[in-house]
Amino acid sequence: MTGRVALIGAGPGDPGLLTLRGAQLLREAEVLLYDALASDAIVALAPQTCERIYVGKRAGDHAMAQDDIEALAIARAREGRFVVRLKGGDPFVFGRGGEEAEALRAASIPFEVVPGISSALAAPAYAGIPLTHREFAASFTVLTGHEDPAKPASTLDWAKLADPKRTLVILMGTANLREIAEKLVANGLAATTPVAVVQDGTRPSQRTVLGTLATIARDVTTAKVAPPAVIVVGEVARLREQLRWFDTSPLFGKRVAITRAGEQSEGFARALLQRGAEPVLAPTIAILPPDDATAAERAIDVLASFAWLVFTSRNGVDAFFARLASRNADARAIGTVKVAAIGERSAERLRASGVIADVVPEAFVAEEVANAVIERAKPGDRVLLYRAQEARDVLPRMLGEAGLIVTIAAAYKTVVPAAPDFAEKIARAGVLTFTSASTVRGFADLLGGPDAATEAARGKCVACIGPITARAATNMGLIVDVVASRYTTAGLLDALDAHFAQHR
Residues with catalytic roles: 35, 57
In the chain, the N- to C-terminal Cα span, in Å, equals 60
CA atoms within 13 A on the CB side of 335: 12
User: Can you tell me the distance from the alpha carbon of 214 to that of 51, in angstroms, rounded to the nearest whole number?
Assistant: 48
User: Can you tell me the distance from the alpha carbon of 58 to that of 73, in angstroms, rounded to the nearest whole number?
Assistant: 20
Q: Going edge to edge, which strands form the sheet with 382-388?
A: 286-288, 405-415, 382-388, 308-311, 338-341
CA atoms within 13 A on the CB side of 352: 10
Burial of 409 (C-beta count, 10 Å sphere; 0-12/13-18/19+)? buried
Give the SS3 label for residue 32.
strand
User: Can you tell me the distance from the alpha carbon of 395 to that of 336, in angstroms, rounded to the nearest whole number?
Assistant: 22
Query: Angle at the Cα of 329 (from 328 to 332), degrees rounded to 5?
Result: 160
- DSSP class of residue 359 equals B
φ/ψ of residue 164, rounded to 5: -65, -15
Cα radius of gyration (the chain): 28
**What count of residues does the chain have?**
504
User: Can you tell me the distance from the alpha carbon of 72 to that of 34, in angstroms, rounded to the nearest whole number?
Assistant: 12
**Hey, which residues does 99 pair with through a beta bridge?**
none
User: Can you tell me the distance from the alpha carbon of 484 to that of 381, in angstroms, rounded to the nearest whole number?
Assistant: 34
Q: How far is CA 243 from CA 127, 238, 239, 247, in A?
A: 8, 9, 6, 11
